[in-house]
Structure 1
Amino acid sequence: MEKRLGFVGLIIEDRESNAATVNTLLSEFGDMILARTGVPCPERNCSAITLVIDATTDQLGSLTGKLGRVSGVSVKSMLSKMATP
């Protein structure tokens, strides 16, 4: 299966309770993450993370599925139509 460029957007509620779990999962999939940007919102006890990835649809599904099962985490993703060289 071919890899494609894409992104994953995360909103993490109850940041203090969920950040460690999310970071552990992101480390597991670190080989497909090209860039990561995080914005904490301490006054709302949440944060937003955007990932740029190079992954197959199966890899993306595995990552987003695991993240989506974490309580308080919302996740959305998209892959490009064209495979990466």
Structure 2
Amino acid sequence: MESRSVGVIAIIIKERDTVACKVNDIFTQYGSIILGRIGLPYRERNLNIITLIVDASTDQIGALTGKLGRIEGVTVKSTLAKL
């Protein structure tokens, strides 16, 4: 049986206009592991903050966060609970 984790991924996006399409494309690719998504614009600082709740293998979560982290202007952190 594949080991799965439930986790939270925090994403901070600088200058949303230039990277939103790339970020949303990645979300679509990994939509099957995303249980929930909350997004908040922080207009005063030109930032967007997104939180994802995921349920997947650590390899899948690592692939998702790795792709997001390679986008310039995107910062990603995750925390996982092994179940």
Q: TM-score range by the shorter chain?
A: over 0.9
CA distance in 2, matches of 1:81, 1:25: 24
Q: Deviations over 1:48-82 (max 9, x none)?
A: 00000001010011000000000000000011022
**2:59 aligned with 1:63, yes or no?**
no
CA separation in 2, counterparts of 1:24 and 1:4?
Answer: 23
Q: CA RMSD in A?
A: 0.9
Q: TM-score, normalised by structure 2?
A: 0.93
Query: In structure 2, how many angstroms separate the alpha carbons of the residues matched to 1:68 and 1:38?
Result: 17
TM-score normalised by L of structure 1: 0.91
The answer to whether structure 1 residue 41 and structure 2 residue 42 are counterparts is yes
Aligned length: 82
Kept in 1: contact 2:8–2:79 (CA 8 A): yes
Segments of 4+ moved more than 6 angstroms: none
Listed as ranges, the gaps of 5+ residues in structure 1 are none
Give the secondary structure class of the aligned counterpart of 1:2: coil
Unaligned runs of 5+ in 2: none
Identity of aligned residues (%): 48
Amino acid of the structure 1 residue aligned with 2:16: R
How far apart are the structure 2 equivalents of 1:57 and 1:48? 23
Say whether the 8 Å CA contact 2:4–2:82 is kept in structure 1: no
